[in-house]
Structure formats: structure tokens, C-alpha cells
């Protein structure tokens, strides 16, 4: 796991590791591992949550899906918590519709414990 900016972030796509290092936190955070094909929607979600004032404490791939959690304090405002939930849900659905390896959009959402793979990546 990559929890602090000073820790090893080798499990993360470089762009996600760079985001984490650029957004240091005093909180314990769990980032990783993340499929390289999910970099774009994850970065979009991290940026949107940051702009809304949330601090992401957990962001990882688990059992075929994206897991993102923010600080419990960030959920105190009902209006903000619904915005956070919308951002997270959108990112999770976007990731379910992408190949975990190359990021290509798939014709249907695939929920699989190992994540979705496009035909090209499956053939490799």
C-alpha cells in the first residue's frame, strides 16, 4: 500500500502516485493497487473530490471494483456527502466499463473478481 507521499508507490500507475505525492496528508491513507487502465477515471474522481473539499483516505482495486473512501468528517454535511457519493459512484461505474489493463471502454459493464478485460488484452 502507498499511504504517505514518502512511501513506495510502485503498485500505483505513475499518474496516481504523482497525484498522491502532490496532495500530502496528515491522515493515514491507503492507495493501491490500481489497474493501469483505470488511471483516467480515478484521476478525475480524485480531482473532483479534492475540488469539493474532501480528503480521500482510501483508493484501491478490490474484488474487481474501485474502492474510494473520504474522511468521515467530510461526510458531516448532507449536501456535500451526496456530491461525494455521486463522484465516487460515477468513477466506480466508469471503471467497471473499462479494461483494467488498457483502459478501453467496453460495450457492457463487467463485474468480475479480477476486473474486466477487453478482447485484445484477453488474447495476450
> Tens-of-pLDDT digits for all 124 residues of the chain?
565 544 567 778 899 989 988 998 888 889 988 898 999 999 999 999 999 999 999 999 998 899 999 998 888 888 888 999 999 999 999 998 899 889 999 887 666 788 888 888 888 7
Residue ranges making up the domain that contains 108? 14-123
Q: Give this prediction's pTM.
A: 0.85
* Beta bridge pairs of residue 58: 30, 69
Residue 5 lies in a domain: no
Residue 74 lies in a domain: yes
Residue 35 lies in a domain: yes
Residue 4 lies in a domain: no
Residue 115 lies in a domain: yes
Residue 8 lies in a domain: no
Residue 3 lies in a domain: no
The answer to whether 116 touches 97, Cβ cutoff 8 Å, is: yes
- Provide the number of structural domains found in the chain: 1
Cα–Cα distance measured from residue 89 to residue 87, given in angstroms and rounded to the nearest whole number:
6
Cβ neighbours for 30, distance < 8 A, ≥ 6 positions apart:
1, 3, 57, 58, 59, 60
Residue 2 lies in a domain: no
What is the distance, to the nearest Å, from the Cα of residue 87 to the centroid of all Cα atoms in its chain? Answer: 11
Amino acid at each position: 500500500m502507498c499511504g504517505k507521499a514518502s512511501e513506495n508507490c510502485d503498485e500505483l500507475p505513475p499518474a496516481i502516485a504523482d497525484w498522491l505525492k502532490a496532495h500530502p496528508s496528515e491522515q493515514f491513507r491507503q492507495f493501491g493497487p490500481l489497474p493501469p487502465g483505470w488511471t483516467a477515471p480515478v484521476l478525475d474522481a480524485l480531482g473532483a473530490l479534492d475540488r469539493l473539499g474532501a480528503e480521500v483516505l482510501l483508493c484501491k482495486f478490490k474484488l474487481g471494483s474501485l474502492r474510494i473512501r473520504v474522511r468521515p468528517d467530510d461526510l458531516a454535511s448532507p449536501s456535500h456527502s451526496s456530491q461525494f457519493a455521486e463522484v465516487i459512484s460515477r468513477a466506480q461505474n466508469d471503471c467497471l466499463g473499462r479494461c483494467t489493463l488498457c483502459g478501453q471502454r467496453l460495450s457492457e459493464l463487467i463485474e468480475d473478481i479480477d476486473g474486466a478485460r477487453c478482447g485484445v488484452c484477453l488474447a495476450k
